[in-house]
Structure 1
Amino acid sequence: MSTEAGVSDSADFRMQVVAESIRLFAEHGYEATSVDVVAAAAGVSRRTLFRQFRSKEDLIFADHEELLAGVAERLRERDDDPWWAVCAAAEGVFAHFADHRELAVGRYRVVAQVPALRDRELVTTYRYQRLFEESLRRRLPDVPRVRIVAYAAAVTGAHNLLLRQMVRGDETATAQFLHDELRRIHATTQRHERAGATAVTVVTHSADLTPDEVADIVRNRLTRH
């Protein structure tokens, strides 16, 4: 890549730099690979690279920034089931890394060797969970926060576990497997909502009935339903 303008501001360019930096870090070591080497491999100047990426850490996690922005936008736009909207967002993130599996595997290997990068990865993971929580709180203001946090953590945890298994070569860690697990998490929440719902039974009766007779009518009505 030789252009310094236009293309250097595109999402494709950023993804290419992420992939190139991870390749170099994996081959030569994170500490041993300078930003200048990454810039040369990407065909841009050091200045252009720092205009797009503030640090070496950003070179590795830049696609996460794009994903986080996309997740936030999609969650704002959705008007369907709020609980499933969060699951769908998690599926979208998994699909991205499944489509760029080589990049995900390379990053996993680099991050595993550098404590500072592992810390950054944990923070990045939590940012997805926070987006899920914020979406649920915004759309379900009457739901207790503890339930929202627990749900967002369950969705995030299932996604992260299967993602790690996928990059480690586990062929059972598929998008369909994730979908099925998220369906189970979602179904549990729906059962709790139904269990907490209030049922109202309307009974009409003659004004001259005794309280015991009215009670019998109510009992019979509830038994039928």
Structure 2
Amino acid sequence: MAHDDAAQFRLTVVDQALRLFAERGYEATTVDEIAVAAGISRRTFFRQFRSKEDVIFADHEFQLVSAQEFLEQVTGDPWDAVCEAVLGVFERFTQWRDIAARRYQVVRRVPALREREIVTVFRYERLFTEFLRERLPDTPDLARVQFTAAVTATHNYLLRRMVRGESGAAVGDLRAELALIPRGRRERSATDDMVVAVFPRDMPPRRVADLLATRLDSL
């Protein structure tokens, strides 16, 4: 089964599972009922998913794989690449808006699923941070972590507003917000603390000192 076909198949199962969870409750719905609703056998279900919980987050698994594949091929600015990967995730969620909205309703009612969602969010952050560590080895690690945390939090905030029906946020809105997040800084070197000044040869030393003091105070 091709990658896109496999993803569409899994989304079909997810769609049916979420419908049943909404109608009957997560705990009351069985794997057999999901399989029947999706028109597949129990064996086929377990070839694609390990459990009911996996069904809930199947689209996230696809998103993580897609983001990783994108980052492996990108050649541009690493900070921009992370933003583009996040934009791709958001765009696909806008296409699956109904599924994302129904999952939100199910997850918020089940504590175990809320915990799994937190872990899933961390997996996005870890993917983006590891990418920046590989592409920007001289950047302070805290700067990389701060950036990926801010990017992920911005994505999740707009996505939650969308699935709750509070906003019609689009990809362009997320792009504008991501552009405001500061990029990391490189490691400081010895030359970062050096100041080079040029003065006329005949300028009095006292005047040179005064000008340097004034300019350094303004840096």
Query: TM-score if structure 2 supplies the norm length?
Result: 0.83
Cα-to-partner distance string for 1:103-159 (whole Å, 9 max, x where unaligned): 001000000111110011110111000011001000000001001000000000000
1:98 to 70, 94, 99: 94
Q: 1:62 corresponds to which residue?
A: 58
Residue 147 of structure 1 aligns with an amino acid whose one-letter code is A
Matched, 1:75 2:71: yes
CA distance in 2, matches of 1:123, 1:51: 23
Amino acid of the structure 2 residue aligned with 1:62:
A
CA distance in 1, matches of 2:69, 2:170: 25
Query: Cα deviation per residue 1:6-52 (whole Å; 9 max; x = unaligned)?
Result: 59x82211111111111111111101110000000111111110111
Cα separation, 2, equivalents of 1:45 and 1:184: 49
In structure 2, the residue matched to 1:3 is none
Rate the CA distance shift 1:175–1:44 in 2: closer, same or farther, 3 A.
Answer: same
Cα gap change, 1:165 to 1:90, in 2 (>3 Å): same
Residue 160 of structure 2 corresponds to 164
1:59 is displaced (CA, Å) by 0.9
Q: Residue 173 of structure 1 aligns to which amino acid in structure 2?
A: A
Which residue matches 1:153?
A: 149
Q: Distance in 2 between matches of 1:100 and 1:157?
A: 20
Residue 89 of structure 1 aligns with which residue? 85
Matches of 2:168 and 2:37 in 1, distance apart?
35
Mapped to 1, the partners of 2:64 and 2:129 lie a distance apart of: 13
Q: Which one of 168, 182, 189 corresponds to residue 183 of structure 2?
A: 189
1:177-215 Cα offsets, whole Å, 9 max, x none, are: 111110111xx227x56x999599698x99xx9996xx8
State the shift of 1:102 in Å: 0.4
Query: In the aligned structure 2, how far is the partner of 1:92 from the partner of 1:211?
Result: 61
Amino acid at match of 2:67: V
Secondary structure of residue in 1 paired with 2:183: helix
Aligned length: 207
- Partners of 1:155 and 1:139 lie apart in 2 by 17
- Specify the alignment match of 1:180 in structure 2: 176
Counterpart-to-counterpart distance in 2, 1:148 and 1:211: 47
> Which secondary structure state, in structure 1, belongs to the residue aligned with residue 108 of structure 2?
helix
2:128 aligns to what? 132
Alpha-carbon shift at residue 172 of structure 1 (Å): 4.7
Identity of aligned residues (%): 52
Aligned to 1:16: 12
Match of 2:110 in 1: 114
Moved over 4 A (4+): 195-203, 209-212
Please state how far the C-alpha of 1:63 moved relative to its aligned partner: 1.2
Structure 1 length normalisation: TM-score?
A: 0.81
TM-superposed CA distance for 1:171, in Å, is 2.5
